[in-house]
Amino acid sequence: MYRKASYGSELDQLIQLLSKLPGLGPRSARRAALQLIKKKDTVMRPLSTALAEVAEHVNPCCICGNLDTSDPCHICDNPARDHSSICVIEDVADLWALERSGSYRGAYHVIGGTLSALDGVGPDDLNISSLIERVRADNITEVIIATNATVDGQTTAHYITDRLKDTAIMVSRLAHGVPVGGELDYLDDGTLTAALKSRRPF
C-alpha cells in the first residue's frame, strides 16, 4: 500500500538530495534534515551559504587539477613551496590526504583516475599529457608517483614512468610496506610480500 510522506515536497526533496551523499541512506538523510531544521540559524543557513559559494567559485586548477576557489590553486600559487618537485596523484582526495600529513611541500598533479583496460580508461582519458608538458616546460627536478598500490594504480605508474623516460628527471614512487602501528600478524600477505621485497639496511 502506498504510504504518503508526512512532510511537504520541499522537505522531501531535501531528504532525497541528502540521501545521495556518501554514507547517507534515506533514514540517515531524514535525521540529517531534521537536525538542520532544528538548528536553522546555526547550521542550516550557514551551510546553505557555504554550498552556494562553493558551487559558484570552486573549479579545478588549470595547472595541477586540484579543486580550489582560486585559479591557479593556493598550492600552485604559493612561492614558499618547492615547485621543482611534482607529486602525481590519482584524485583530489589523495592530495588532501598528503596535505593532512604535512610531510610534502612540493607541487601536485592530479591525473583524475587510473588506466583500466576493463573499464575502457586509456591514457587519453587521464591528465597525463598535461603532466608531460608541465614537466618539460617547467624547471622540474623530481616527479614522485603516488598512485595507489593496486594493479591499476601501478600500471598507471609504470606508464607515466615510461612516458618520462626521455627526460632526465628523477622519477620516484611511494614505498609499499608495513604501516605505522601495524602488527605483522594482522597484515595481509600482499603487504608482507611487498614489505619484504622493499626491505632496507638498518
Partner 1 sequence: MEFHDQGIIISLRKYGEYDALIDVMTAQHGRHAGLVKGGMGRRQRGTLQPGNEVTLKWRGRLESQLGTFAAELRNARSASFLDYPSKLGVLNSVCAILSVSLAEREEHNTLYEGLQMLLDTLEHAGPEPESWGALLVRWEIGLLAELGFGLDLGCCAATGVTDDLIYVSPKSGRAVSRGAGLPYHDKLLTLPPFLLGGGNVTGNDVRAGLSLSEFFLERYVLFPHNKKIPQARRMLLDFLTV
**Which parts of this chain interact with partner 1 (CB under 8 A)?**
22-23, 117-120, 122, 149-151, 154-155, 158, 161-162, 176, 188-191, 193-194, 197
Least Å distance, CB 15 to partner 1, is 18
Q: How far apart are CA 128 and CA 131, in angstroms?
A: 5
Least Å distance, CB 188 to partner 1, is 5
88 DSSP 8-state letter: E
Cα 83 to Cα 4, 19, 32, 164, distances in angstroms: 58, 41, 42, 18
Which one, 80 or 117, has the nearer CB to partner 1?
Answer: 117
Least Å distance, CB 172 to partner 1, is 13
Least Å distance, CB 137 to partner 1, is 25
Which one, 40 or 158, has the nearer CB to partner 1?
Answer: 158
Q: Rounded to 5 degrees, what are φ and ψ at 61? A: -65, 135
Which one, 83 or 173, has the nearer CB to partner 1?
Answer: 173
Which amino acid would we find at residue 105? R
Specify which residues 59 forms β-bridges with. Answer: 68
Q: How far apart are CA 4 and CA 162, in angstroms?
A: 60
Cα 174 → chain centroid = 16
Which one, 13 or 198, has the nearer CB to partner 1?
Answer: 198
